[in-house]
Amino acid sequence: MKIIMLGAPGAGKGTQAEMIAEKYDLPHISTGDIFRANIKAGTELGNKAKAYMDKGQLVPDSLTIDLVMDRLSQPDCDGGYILDGFPRTIPQAVSLTKALRDRGETLDYAINVHVPDERIVSRMSGRRACSGCGQTYHMVFAPPKTEGICNKCGSELFLRDDDKPETVKKRLAVYHNQTQPLIEYYGKQRILRTVDGTKDMEDVFQDITNILGA
């Protein structure tokens, strides 16, 4: 099964993708996580990406598309995957459609997690990410067992640089301009399914599994 996750920053794409990956045994490919891992490792790609991410802008398509295509050609993707945070521009979506078509493949679902803007900013300020394994928490909605420490690997949790309210507002504007048009793009391909992302995480996941099947 090949799935992409659509939705505004903070809608819960990563949270749901993680749960889907586990239930359906699919690799979870998050471009944001790949960029953050490169920033942490101090690679050239990471240094370039950081300049855009810190400002709430998108990393240019020229740096993003090849990176994802290369990742999708790895053997663990042969049985499908879940893409989280890609595509997020029309050129990225067109490249993905073409690459799949060349292999005689198509996407199965574009899951759009819908959350109105006014809920996003407060959600983001409560988010914490693990500095070790990248696991996501929320101080109110999904707290760790011990404050500030990851349940899975014991590393410290941190607030992402781009989760400050001013940057979140910029990311939302970028989302509406550049990513929201993908809703229509995948609607036309008849694979778009929209879920209400304001529900509890478990209820959102139930709605998604109803779409994907047991």
Which residues have a catalytic role annotated? 13, 88, 127, 160, 171
From Mg ion, ligand AP5, none, interface partner of 141 (C-beta below 5 to 8 A by class):
ligand AP5
Which residue, 2 or 13, has its beta carbon nearer to ligand AP5? Answer: 13
Please give the biggest Cα pair distance in the chain.
Answer: 48
For residue 126, the 8-state DSSP code is T
Minimum CB distance to ligand AP5, residue 182 (Å): 11
148: left (phi over 0), alpha (psi -120 to 50) or beta: left
Q: What is the DSSP string of 143-195?
A: --SSTTB-TTT-PBEE--GGGSHHHHHHHHHHIIIIITHHHHHHHHTT-EEEE
Which residue, 14 or 110, has its beta carbon nearer to ligand AP5? Answer: 14
Contact set with Mg ion (CB under 5 A):
14
Residues 55-114 that bind ligand AP5 (CB under 6 A): 57-59, 64, 85-86, 88, 92
Which residue in 3, 6, 15, 29 binds ligand AP5 (CB under 6 A)?
15
Q: How far apart are CA 151 and CA 20, in angstroms?
A: 19
Is 12 a binding residue for ligand AP5 by CB under 6 A? The answer is: yes
Which residue, 95 or 135, has its beta carbon nearer to Mg ion? Answer: 135
Tell me the three state secondary structure of residue 150. coil
Which residue in 127, 150, 182, 192 binds ligand AP5 (CB under 6 A)?
127
What are the tokens at 19? 């749960």
Which residue, 139 or 191, has its beta carbon nearer to ligand AP5? Answer: 139
What are the tokens at 204? 């959102």
Per the CB < 8 A criterion, the answer to whether 207 and 195 are in contact is: yes
Helix (H) or strand (E) holding 111: strand 109-114
Of 19-27, 95-103, 130-138, 188-196, the window that binds ligand AP5 (rule: CB under 6 A) is 130-138
Tell me the three state secondary structure of residue 46. helix
What does the binding site for ligand AP5 look like in residue numbers (CB under 6 A)? 7, 9-15, 31-32, 35, 52-53, 57-59, 64, 85-86, 88, 92, 123, 126-127, 136-138, 141-142, 162, 171, 197, 199-201, 204
